[in-house]
Amino acid sequence: MIREIAIEKSVKTKIVGKEVILIRAFNEAKVIAGVLEELIQNGYKNILVVNDGSTDETQSILEDFGEKIILVSHATNRGAGAALETGFEYLRRFGKIDYVITFDADGQHLVSDIKKFDEKFDEDAKLGAIFGSRFLEKSKTNVPFFRKVILHLGKIFTFFVSGIYLTDTHNGLRGFRFETIKKIHLKMDSMAYASELIEEIRKKKIKYAEVFVVIKYTDYSLGKGQSSLNAINIALKVIFNKFFK
């Protein structure tokens, strides 16, 4: 119901083009303008932002971008999975595109890495999903130790519940063909959606690949990351959803 209200209250602009950049934003007032400006300066015109019930100035900052972006807003915070599904549903209704690139709002992704997804999709018409990975090129990886431990445990856990092994399961930089998002419908609202998404890729037999991407670690982006306690809660939600529902 909240998703329906959010979409109905949006401008319902049709999106036509090769790709869309989809961003979920929650309390990103300090950095979101810079992220959007860099995307726009690099020629990205189809930018869909889901404001996931932010309580800071994120909404007003996004509104200031006017027609440069398409904005859908949740009245309350639903979680990363819910925001992503809202973005997907908007595209299912109003999009006529080849694929969508999901991009984090906290400034940790490089805009230049988007081209790697473009090239990969162009190389293989059967490829339905591409996952960004900070671990494919070890010499270029500078992941804080504790974060690395959590991420490695996460990929082992995701393999356990989904049957798919990826080197970086919780990287927000991903690409999906339009046909893929028509097949996948996320039910988990929180960060637990990452494991659910990968399991859906397996169930729907969607061809996937990984590409190396750089993560820019700052005090801000590290502060926005998952705590160990939250990671445990996410794991429990995934297990309950898979085995007890």
Cα angle 53, 13, 56; round to 5: 20
Instruction: Give the pLDDT score at 6.
Output: 79
Whole-number average pLDDT of the chain: 87
CA distance 135 to 18: 28
What is the tally of structural domains in the chain? 1
Two structure tokens written together for 223: 């502060």
Instruction: Give the pLDDT score at 146.
Output: 66
Instruction: Give the pLDDT score at 141.
Output: 62
CA distance 47 to 189: 22
Q: pLDDT of 155-207, one tens digit each?
A: 777 777 777 889 998 899 999 999 999 999 998 876 678 888 999 999 999 99
Beta-ladder partners of 109? 215
Q: Which of the 8 DSSP states describes residue 16?
A: E
Instruction: Give the pLDDT score at 140.
Output: 63
CATH of residue 64's domain is 3.90.550.10
The number of C-alpha atoms within 13 Å of 49 and in the hemisphere containing its C-beta is 30
Render each residue's pLDDT in the chain as its tens digit; 245 residues: 567 667 876 878 999 999 999 999 999 999 999 999 999 999 999 999 999 999 999 999 999 999 999 999 999 999 999 999 999 999 999 999 999 999 999 999 999 999 999 999 999 999 999 999 999 876 566 777 766 777 677 777 777 777 788 999 889 999 999 999 999 999 887 667 888 899 999 999 999 999 999 999 888 877 765 444 454 454 444 444 555 55
Instruction: Give the pLDDT score at 90.
Output: 96
Q: What range does the domain containing 27 cover?
A: 2-243
**Predicted structure pTM score:** 0.86
CA distance 114 to 132: 10
CA distance 195 to 203: 12
Instruction: Give the pLDDT score at 245.
Output: 56
CA distance 214 to 124: 23
Instruction: Give the pLDDT score at 101.
Output: 99
CA distance 21 to 175: 9
Task: Region of 43 please: left (phi>0), alpha (psi -120 to 50) or beta.
Answer: left
Instruction: Give the pLDDT score at 165.
Output: 87
Rounded (10°) CA dihedral 208, 151, 88, 13: -120
Instruction: Give the pLDDT score at 225.
Output: 57
Unique residue bearing structure tokens 């007890």:
244
Two structure tokens written together for 175: 């690409």
